A and B are shown apart, each in its own frame.
Chain A
């Protein structure tokens, strides 16, 4: 279904970057092609995933959530149990190891709320790489503790004052830094976005989620699930989860975007549901933009979904109809938080809560002998402040 021609997923993807980056992208592409099939590289990656990240993560049967929804059996893929608390480390570690093999001594990365930044800083501390992270000045203020975390891990955090001073501006700045320091620096992009080969690299390092899930289902239930639900911002957890199932057409794939205050209000982050095709940060994809082709700001209670674009492979899955994309509002995501806390004692990240809420509705329409799996991409400890403020102590 998903074919890759010159870094394209159907008509999406590509390499829309300044000429100064092309050589670096080619170098990365060649290095990646070499190491992805290199047994010693894969062995090293597996070693760290097992001993450091704590994989494999459980595929947990959420019995009480299943009862509460009344329909399909619901399983949770527990990426929240990874070291640093989310799926982000899978990719950060993979790319840091790749950089090391490429002989790069320095890493640059962008971060929104700080999750990818912390994951990258962590991998760099582990592998002795110098690390610099760009973060929108607004986010630096809102996420002072994550800034401190990265600093604790030995990373330099640079506040970006430009533009809207949020994630997309941090990406701009990280790209600029990379362009200027290409000889010794690798850019660890945090989501399945950006110019080829990044969407492929990120997906390949995240596919461990789906690979494990698939094997776990076959062992546990001797069959595949009927439906998979994952949240989609840039789309790294979801593409990692979906990819190993793409050929299994009997498995329905659901990507859940952030509808923010509602798509009709314009304050949302649902690029597929409420955007048009365009080019940003190196890829042709669905994008939030105005009639002039200017990129507009995304809005979501979840910082990790607060990005105006969406990974090119998802755009292709949408266009071919292989995956179904829908969206969930801030309020509904908060319902998802409460539901999973109350029924399972698991505090999900606000990002993952979008998938939880959607799945809870979907499960109701399915029969008890059907199976649904939610990609629980991260834990919600980081979001307790936000959730508390949003619910205003209202826990009814």
Chain B
């Protein structure tokens, strides 16, 4: 079992829900990466999704896109993020999940990237512009370095596809909760619960909800039918504002004390 899945299952075993914050590496400078990760870790997050900026982030909404632009302006690259993470990897206790578009990995070299990422504490990876059909390009190298390849399942995925995706997904299953791109939203489609049940049918891999989750209420509401949540845009905004209270509230909403 991947370390990522293990971490999530041990969280849910306690009755808590998994909470994975997304941060954009290099937003505010790469020197912020270490303190941010360590502080999130202290708050008791299950894992941390580390976003790598890209020039053409088609799957991202405005908040993360702007964060990416700021990170690029600071000279952030995949290589530098890996180097920075490696420099304090002995302090990293929670699994890191890299979220990067495919092209920076291709430019890095898939094998070299996988090896270096392992040393940097990366246990899982999300490549939003690489659907299941194309995963052969990276899969062997990732596998060899114990990096779980997380699949996204969308509301528009057909039942046949949901089955294939959930069976293939490693670490956890990233269930996209809205049609579209990342970003905070006020409401969700009502049929979500049904959708999540369907997703969980085919695999024991935990299902996490992502895209548009921005309040403790959202976090709680998804707890009813998922193993936890991924929160992106709201975390990115809060980090820019240095608003740790909000982040703490969000994390707290995933804990057993508040869930029940």
Residues of chain A having any CB pair with chain B under 8 Å: 6, 14-20, 22-24, 26, 162-163, 168-169, 172, 175-176, 179-183, 276-282, 287, 289-296
Please give the distance in Å from B111's CB to the nearest CB on chain A.
Answer: 15
Residue in B103, B152, B176, B180 whose beta carbon sits within 8 Å of that of A279 in the complex: B103
Assess whether A23 is in contact with B157, with CB atoms less than 8 Å apart.
yes
Residues of chain B having any CB pair with chain A under 8 Å: 54-59, 61, 65, 69, 72, 77-79, 101-108, 128-134, 151-158, 161, 165, 176, 179-181
Cα A349 to Cα B145 in complex, Å, equals: 52
Assess whether B181 is in contact with A23, with CB atoms less than 8 Å apart.
no
Cα A339 to Cα B151 in complex, Å, equals: 55
Jot down 19 A-B pairs with beta carbons below 8 A, ordered by A. A17-B58, A19-B151, A20-B152, A20-B156, A20-B180, A162-B65, A176-B58, A181-B179, A183-B179, A276-B107, A279-B102, A281-B56, A289-B103, A292-B104, A292-B108, A293-B104, A294-B55, A295-B55, A295-B103
If the complex has contacts A18-B129, A162-B65, are A280 and B176 also in contact, measured as CB distance less than 8 A? no
Residue in A14, A293, A294 whose beta carbon sits within 8 Å of that of B134 in the complex: A14
Cα A293 to Cα B108 in complex, Å, equals: 7
Which residues of B sit under 8 angstroms from A278, Cβ to Cβ? 103, 106-107
Which residues of B sit under 8 angstroms from A180, Cβ to Cβ? 179-181
Assess whether B134 is in contact with A15, with CB atoms less than 8 Å apart.
yes
Please give the distance in Å from A292's CB to the nearest CB on chain B.
Answer: 4
Assess whether B57 is in contact with A19, with CB atoms less than 8 Å apart.
no
Cα A16 to Cα B181 in complex, Å, equals: 16
Which residues of A sit under 8 angstroms from B158, Cβ to Cβ? 23, 26
Give the residue name and chain of the A residue nearest to B75 (CB): A292
Assess whether B133 is in contact with A6, with CB atoms less than 8 Å apart.
yes
Assess whether A19 is in contact with B58, with CB atoms less than 8 Å apart.
no
Residue in A16, A24, A172 whose beta carbon sits within 8 Å of that of B102 in the complex: A16
Which residues of B sit under 8 angstroms from A176, Cβ to Cβ? 58, 61, 180-181
Which residues of A sit under 8 angstroms from B128, Cβ to Cβ? 18-19
Cα A181 to Cα B103 in complex, Å, equals: 26
Please give the distance in Å from A273's CB to the nearest CB on chain B.
Answer: 19
Instruction: State the 10 A-B residue pairs at the shortest beta-carbon distance, nearest first.
Output: A293-B107, A180-B180, A293-B104, A19-B152, A292-B77, A20-B154, A23-B156, A293-B103, A18-B59, A295-B55
Cα A6 to Cα B152 in complex, Å, equals: 21
Cα A18 to Cα B180 in complex, Å, equals: 10
Assess whether A163 is in contact with B156, with CB atoms less than 8 Å apart.
no
Which residues of B sit under 8 angstroms from A295, Cβ to Cβ? 55-56, 103
Cα A18 to Cα B79 in complex, Å, equals: 23
Assess whether A23 is in contact with B103, with CB atoms less than 8 Å apart.
no
Cα A287 to Cα B102 in complex, Å, equals: 13
Assess whether B58 is in contact with A172, with CB atoms less than 8 Å apart.
yes
Residue in B69, B105, B108, B152 whose beta carbon sits within 8 Å of that of A162 in the complex: B69
- Name 9 extra pairs, CB < 8 A, besides A18-B59, A26-B158, A294-B77: A18-B152, A169-B56, A179-B179, A278-B107, A279-B129, A291-B107, A292-B79, A292-B104, A294-B103
Assess whether A22 is in contact with B157, with CB atoms less than 8 Å apart.
yes
Please give the distance in Å from B129's CB to the nearest CB on chain A.
Answer: 5
Assess whether B153 is in contact with A179, with CB atoms less than 8 Å apart.
no
Query: Which of the listed residues A17, A19, A169, A281 has the most CB atoms from chain B within 10 Å of its own CB?
Result: A19
If the complex has contacts A180-B179, A293-B106, A294-B104, are A16 and B134 also in contact, measured as CB distance less than 8 A? yes
Query: Which of the listed residues A6, A16, A169 has the most CB atoms from chain B within 10 Å of its own CB?
Result: A16
Please give the distance in Å from A312's CB to the nearest CB on chain B.
Answer: 13
Residue in A17, A19, A287, A291 whose beta carbon sits within 8 Å of that of B157 in the complex: A19
Give the residue name and chain of the A residue nearest to B151 (CB): A19
Assess whether A19 is in contact with B65, with CB atoms less than 8 Å apart.
no
Assess whether B176 is in contact with A163, with CB atoms less than 8 Å apart.
no
